[in-house]
Amino acid sequence: MTSPTVPRRRLGQELTRLRKAAAMTGEQVATKMEWSSPSKLYKIEGGRQGIQPKELRELLGYYGTTDPETVDALCALARQGKQRAWWSQYAEALTDSYTTYVGLESAATELRVYESTTVHGLLQTEDYARALLTTAAQAPEPAMSAATIDSKVAVRMERQSLLGRLRLWVILDEAALRRIVGGSEIMAAQYERLIEVTRLPSVKLQVLPLGDTTSPAPPTNFTVMEFDEGAGPDAVYVELLTGGIFVEGTDVRRYNVVFNNLRAAALSPARSTSLIKEVAAGLA
């Protein structure tokens, strides 16, 4: 899968460096560029939004960057960052934060995930994903049409092509393992899928047992995303009820500490697989 996220992040890193070298604040840049707020700049610097080469040249002019080779190289990154990604065809069904997450996920080399309530999207069967989204659409105020559900399921299945390409370490709360989604037949297939995925050398799956009290479960799901050098700093995606937020910088370390504590408290990968088989047998 091709992703415009890496060139966006590389461009964002360089623009951040150039802005600081020019001793300009985000507010000053927004004023000069006639942007309504600095948020657009920070999204560009964080690799979460692209920028047109024409607009980029104007921005570089304010930074005093006029070297033709440098300008051309940065404009090339801007053009690469504006290319359509595979998930663009589903844009109408996806939130901005989720679209950004999919882009970062596709560019990552390793994901460290904690899931408290449901199976992680990269490990879901299509039927499980559809049942989960259909249930969400039946809330008091339905927010998803059948077409939107179809699009979300398609994105979730396409994302799974990453398995085997990146390293994935998932800590799954036992509550998510035991929660019945869509009925016994769907769950039986989902358990089989989890067992199948644990055979991949690039995937580690651990279950955090319900009886554990030494490492309290975090209140929200989160994913730590690690990138190759040159693709930008590591980041964390934290799931919220209304979407998600991204954490970068020194706060990433805090999430790594939490993940390591969860990893130590969770069952070993082998024991986790045994528990999944036990739960599946109980369902049968």
The single-letter code of the amino acid at 190 is Q
Residue 133 sits in the same domain as residue 269: yes
Task: Find the domain containing 62 and state its range.
Answer: 5-81
What are the start-end ranges of the E strands in 121-256? 167-173, 203-208, 222-226, 235-240, 243-247
- 26-81 tens-digit pLDDT: 999 999 999 999 999 998 998 888 899 999 999 999 999 999 999 999 999 999 88
pTM for the full predicted model: 0.83
Q: How many domains does the chain have?
A: 2
Q: From CA 102, how far away is CA 226, in angstroms rounded?
A: 14
Token pair 């070297």 in the structure block, residue: 67
Instruction: Give the CATH number of the domain where residue 62 resides.
Output: 1.10.260.40
Compute φ and ψ for 81, nearest 5 degrees. Answer: -70, -15
3-state secondary structure of 236: strand
Last residue of a domain, one of 51, 81, 111: 81
Residue 21 sits in the same domain as residue 110: no
Residue 160 sits in the same domain as residue 264: yes
What are the start-end ranges of the E strands in the chain? 110-115, 167-173, 203-208, 222-226, 235-240, 243-247
Which pair of structure tokens corresponds to residue 51?
């920028």
223 contacts 237 by C-beta, under 8 angstroms? yes
- 68-123 tens-digit pLDDT: 999 999 999 999 888 888 888 888 888 888 888 998 999 899 999 999 999 999 99
52: Cβ–Cβ under 8 A, 6 or more apart, which residues?
78, 82
Instruction: Give the CATH number of the domain where residue 199 resides.
Output: 3.30.870
